[in-house]
A and B are shown apart, each in its own frame.
Chain A
Amino acid sequence: MNLNLLELRKLLNSIPQNKIRIVTGRALTSPGGTFANTVLIDAGTKDGVKIGQPAISSLGLVGYVVNVSFNSSRILLIIDINSMIPAYLTQSNWPAVIQGQNSQLLKIKFLSSEATLIEGESLETSGHGGRLPAGINIGNVVKTFSGKYSVKPSVDLNRITYISIITNFNLPQDANNDFDGFAPMQKPKTSRGLKGIDSSGRRKIESAED
């Protein structure tokens, strides 16, 4: 019981930003699959959990929510092959994408050729794309036997007991329905004023009242 309380206290301290609301659930299954690495927790829509919300533990990022029911939700772990997390190297500030491989180590993708990796360097979420909040610890860079660099998650995903969901982190589509992406919108070309065609070249549908 004391250990549980200690873990919960640690979880509260690991929040990267202020005023973030979290819901903590107990893991109901273990990530034992060969093809998929997911965990079911006992918190669902009744607790405010939604699809896409990030899942953390006392040590760092665990994954994000992919399925929600009333009482439970499924979390896709960062080690799953379908998980891709935008991150940055904390010492050199180079951005990269961290991909799961269905194994204990994560793959570093889209890292600039100018970047030099340091063994033991930690990685955090960059917040690019707006899917996950920035500044959550992911893991450390390790060198494998083959000489390649990988990332070892800071969370021991096989022994995870409690998982917290950041419930008030809004995804871009939740925050604004008219969200069109991050790229600046281009102005439509000037039309030639054809009858029945609007400025973007689409056919105009006129209502009966007009």
Chain B
Amino acid sequence: MNNNLFFYFIYNLSKSIFFFIGIFFLINIEVSLSFFLIFNTATPSLVSIIIFLFIKKFNYILSNFNLICIGLLNDVFLGNNLGLTSIYFLLFKYLTENIRINIADEKHEDDWLYFTIIFVIAFTVTLLINMLLNLKIPDLSPILYYIGITLVSFPIVNIIINSFYFIQRLFKS
């Protein structure tokens, strides 16, 4: 019994570490995307898309501690106010889990719509906190571009993940 618990703990820990490394890698990609001309104004939030898909599609329960650490790392990288991204990630996770539990959508047909709602709410809250901290209203064009480019990126990332998932299932069968 104790052995089982121990292995369960190790299994969960390894999953968490794997997720942490994956998201850390993704943050680096996200920052590097700004070197491309199309992403000069803003880069898409790939991390948000991945978190949404992990929770909604793969039923993977993310640890809050993991998200806080990833958020803090992101803030240190980009020079944001410390803790702002962590708040965003936690809010995003809470809203996504809420939708997963309360709304039955087994075919994942309305994922884009749910993602749009959750992303806009979570981002607006973060933006308001940021505006309160700076006591200034930023230019809206890069913010709208950021929202737009993230929403456009969602189906692309979704299709890529679906294709990987499909190939994996094909091999298994």
Chain B contacts with A in 11-37, Cβ cutoff 8 A: 30-35
Instruction: Provide the A55-99 mask, 1 if CB < 8 A to any CB of B, else 0.
Output: 000000000001100000010100001100000000000000000
Complex CA–CA separation, A37 to B139 (angstroms) = 13
* Nearest chain A CB to B126 CB, angstrom units: 8
Any B CB within 8 A of the CB of A20? no
* Nearest chain B CB to A94 CB, angstrom units: 24
Any A CB within 8 A of the CB of B81? yes
Any A CB within 8 A of the CB of B84? yes
When distances are taken between beta carbons in the complex, the residues of chain A under 8 Å from B35 are: 30, 158-159
A101-109, A134-142, A172-180, A200-208 - interface stretch: A101-109
Complex CA–CA separation, A31 to B84 (angstroms) = 17
- Whether A32 contacts B134 by the Cβ 8 Å rule is no
> Binding site of B, secondary structure by majority: helix, strand, loop or mixed?
helix
Complex CA–CA separation, A159 to B40 (angstroms) = 9
- Whether B79 contacts A34 by the Cβ 8 Å rule is no
Q: In chain B, what residue has the closest Cβ to A80?
A: B79
- Tally of A-B Cβ pairs under 8 angstroms: 67
When distances are taken between beta carbons in the complex, the residues of chain B under 8 Å from A30 are: 31-32, 34-35
Task: Identify which of A37, A67, A81, A103 contacts B141 (C-beta below 8 A).
Answer: A103
- Whether A32 contacts B41 by the Cβ 8 Å rule is no
- Whether B81 contacts A34 by the Cβ 8 Å rule is no
Any A CB within 8 A of the CB of B108? no
When distances are taken between beta carbons in the complex, the residues of chain A under 8 Å from B138 are: 35, 81, 101-103
Complex CA–CA separation, A33 to B35 (angstroms) = 12
* Nearest chain A CB to B106 CB, angstrom units: 34
Complex CA–CA separation, A80 to B76 (angstroms) = 16
- Whether B142 contacts A36 by the Cβ 8 Å rule is no
* Nearest chain A CB to B23 CB, angstrom units: 16
- Whether B81 contacts A103 by the Cβ 8 Å rule is no
Total interface residues on A, using CB and 8 Å?
24
Any B CB within 8 A of the CB of A126? no
> Binding site of A, secondary structure by majority: helix, strand, loop or mixed?
loop
Chain B contacts with A in 69-109, Cβ cutoff 8 A: 77-81, 84
Any B CB within 8 A of the CB of A38? yes
- Whether A35 contacts B130 by the Cβ 8 Å rule is yes
When distances are taken between beta carbons in the complex, the residues of chain B under 8 Å from A104 are: 40-41
Complex CA–CA separation, A31 to B32 (angstroms) = 9
Q: In chain A, what residue has the closest Cβ to B147?
A: A34
Complex CA–CA separation, A103 to B42 (angstroms) = 9
Most chain A CB within 10 A, of B30, B39, B40, is at B40
Complex CA–CA separation, A29 to B78 (angstroms) = 8
Instruction: Provide the B112-140 mask, 1 if CB < 8 A to any CB of A, else 0.
Output: 00000000000000110010001010110
- Whether A35 contacts B142 by the Cβ 8 Å rule is no
With A34-B142, A34-B146, A103-B139 as known contacts, state yes or no: A29 contacts B134, CB within 8 Å: no
Instruction: Provide the A19-57 mask, 1 if CB < 8 A to any CB of B, else 0.
Output: 000000000011111111110100000000000000000
Complex CA–CA separation, A37 to B79 (angstroms) = 7
Q: In chain A, what residue has the closest Cβ to B142?
A: A103
* Nearest chain B CB to A75 CB, angstrom units: 9
Complex CA–CA separation, A192 to B143 (angstroms) = 61
* Nearest chain A CB to B34 CB, angstrom units: 4
Can you list 6 A-B contacts with CB-CB less than 8 angstroms, sorted by A residue number? A32-B30, A32-B33, A35-B80, A36-B78, A81-B134, A101-B139
Can you add 12 more A-B contacts, CB < 8 Å, to A35-B130, A158-B35?
A: A30-B35, A31-B34, A32-B31, A32-B34, A32-B39, A34-B146, A35-B126, A40-B79, A81-B138, A101-B138, A103-B141, A159-B35
Q: Which 3 pairs from chain A and chain B are nearest by CB?
A: A38-B79, A32-B34, A33-B78
